[in-house]
Homo-oligomer: A and B are copies of this chain.
Amino acid sequence: MPAEIIDGKAFAADLRGKVAGHVARLKADHGITPGLAVVLVGEDPASQVYVRNKGRQTVEAGMASFEHKLPADVPADELYALIERLNADPKVHGILCQFPVPDHLSESEIVARIDPAKDVDGLHILNIGRLASGQDAMAPCTPLGCLMLLRDHLGPLSGMNAVVIGRSNLVGKPMAQLLLGDSCTVTIAHSRTRDIEEVVRRADIVVAAVGRPEMVTGDWIKPGATVIDVGINRIDAPERGAGKTRLVGDCQFESCAQVAGAITPVPGGVGPMTIACLLANTVTACCRAHGLLEPEGITA
C-alpha cells in the first residue's frame, strides 16, 4: 500500500493563514504589528532568494518586514551595531541573520549578539538550553515544522518510537528534544550507529536529517511508519538532459513510500514549513514581548 503523501506546501500555507489570523487579532485587539527583521550580508544569489521569500511571506501575513542589506565586506562591528539597534527596537520582535555569511564574520558571534527573546531562528545558546531543559524556548524552525507535520498527521505522539537520523545542532539535536517533549521514546542515530537499518526499522516516526542523498531505503522502514525527510540534496539527473540536476531527500522516496504509512516528499515536504515556522516564531516572540498569551497551535 503506497504511503500517504504529507503535503508540506499545503500545510505551510494553512499555517501561514493561522499566523495571519493571529496577526490580525494582535492588530485589532492590541494595536500591535509583529515585525521581523532580516539581515543579509553580501550578494549570495541563493540567500537573496531566501530573504526575498521571507520578506514577501512576512508581509503577506500582515506583519512588518525589515530588510537590512549590508555589503559583503561590512566590518563585524557595524553588523553588531545593527543587531544592537534591532535588539532595542520595539517594532522588531524577531531578528535573523541569513547564513552563510562571508568568512571574516563568525556565525556563532552573530547569533550570540541577538536578543534571545528575538532569536526566531532558535540558534542562541540560551534557546538551545531552554529547549534542552523543557522550558519555553524559541525552537529552530525546521525541526519545529517537522513536529507540526507529525502532530497534524499522527495526533498525540506520546509513547511512539521516534528515530532521528543525524545529530546536527541545526536539526537532529533540537528535533530529538522536541520529540522528547512530546513524550516520544527518542533514539538519535548517526554516522557511528551500528546496524542503522535495524535501528530505523523499529521507528514509528523517522526523521532523516543527514544530508546524504537517498541514504534511507524502503527496507529500513517499518510498515506504516511516518517518514519525515529533512534532506534537500541536489544530484545529477542526466536522464533530464546533459548537465541537469534534481532535488532528492535523505530518503529514497519511491521505495520508502511503498512501505511507510506517510512520507514527506522532497521538494514540497519539510522545506515550505521552515519560513512558515519563522513567521509563527515571530508572532510567538511578539506575544511574549507584550506579555500576551501565546497563540495556540503555532509553538512547540
On A, residues with C-beta under 8 Å from B are 125-135, 158-159, 161, 167, 169, 173, 176-177, 180, 183, 185-190, 192-194, 199
> Which residues from chain B contact A129 at a C-beta distance below 8 Å?
125-130, 132
Whole-angstrom distance between the alpha carbons of A230 and B251 in the complex?
Answer: 38
Whole-angstrom distance between the alpha carbons of A132 and B132 in the complex?
Answer: 7
Whole-angstrom distance between the alpha carbons of A183 and B193 in the complex?
Answer: 8
Q: Which 5 A-B pairs rank lowest in CB-CB distance, beginning with the nearest?
A: A129-B129, A132-B132, A125-B129, A128-B129, A187-B187
Q: Find the B residue at minimum CB distance from A125.
A: B129
Contact A185 to B188, CB < 8 A, known contacts A125-B133, A132-B173, A161-B194: yes
Q: A186 and B188: CB pair below 8 A?
A: yes
Q: A133 and B192: CB pair below 8 A?
A: no
> Which residues from chain B contact A169 at a C-beta distance below 8 Å?
133-134
Q: CB within 8 A of A188: which of B127, B133, B180, B194?
A: B180
Q: B173 and A199: CB pair below 8 A?
A: no
Whole-angstrom distance between the alpha carbons of A138 and B183 in the complex?
Answer: 27
> Which residues from chain B contact A194 at a C-beta distance below 8 Å?
159, 161, 185
Q: B127 and A192: CB pair below 8 A?
A: no
> Which residues from chain B contact A159 at a C-beta distance below 8 Å?
192-194
Contact A187 to B185, CB < 8 A, known contacts A126-B126, A173-B133: yes
Whole-angstrom distance between the alpha carbons of A127 and B169 in the complex?
Answer: 15
Contact A177 to B132, CB < 8 A, known contacts A159-B193, A159-B194: yes
Q: B180 and A185: CB pair below 8 A?
A: no
> Which residues from chain B contact A183 at a C-beta distance below 8 Å?
190, 192
- Closest-CB distance, A123 to chain B (whole angstroms): 9
- Closest-CB distance, A115 to chain B (whole angstroms): 15
Whole-angstrom distance between the alpha carbons of A71 and B32 in the complex?
Answer: 47
Q: Find the B residue at minimum CB distance from A196.
A: B185
Contact A132 to B134, CB < 8 A, known contacts A161-B194, A183-B192, A187-B185: no
Whole-angstrom distance between the alpha carbons of A180 and B133 in the complex?
Answer: 16
Whole-angstrom distance between the alpha carbons of A176 and B134 in the complex?
Answer: 14
> Which residues from chain B contact A192 at a C-beta distance below 8 Å?
158-159, 183, 185
- Closest-CB distance, A164 to chain B (whole angstroms): 10
Whole-angstrom distance between the alpha carbons of A192 and B161 in the complex?
Answer: 10
Beyond the given pairs A132-B132, A185-B193, 13 more chain A to chain B contacts, judged by CB atoms under 8 angstroms and listed by A's residue number, are A125-B126, A126-B126, A128-B129, A128-B133, A129-B130, A129-B132, A132-B173, A159-B193, A159-B194, A185-B188, A185-B189, A185-B192, A185-B199
Whole-angstrom distance between the alpha carbons of A270 and B19 in the complex?
Answer: 49
Whole-angstrom distance between the alpha carbons of A129 and B131 in the complex?
Answer: 8
Whole-angstrom distance between the alpha carbons of A155 and B126 in the complex?
Answer: 33
Whole-angstrom distance between the alpha carbons of A133 and B129 in the complex?
Answer: 9
Whole-angstrom distance between the alpha carbons of A126 and B132 in the complex?
Answer: 11
- Closest-CB distance, A171 to chain B (whole angstroms): 12
- Closest-CB distance, A214 to chain B (whole angstroms): 22
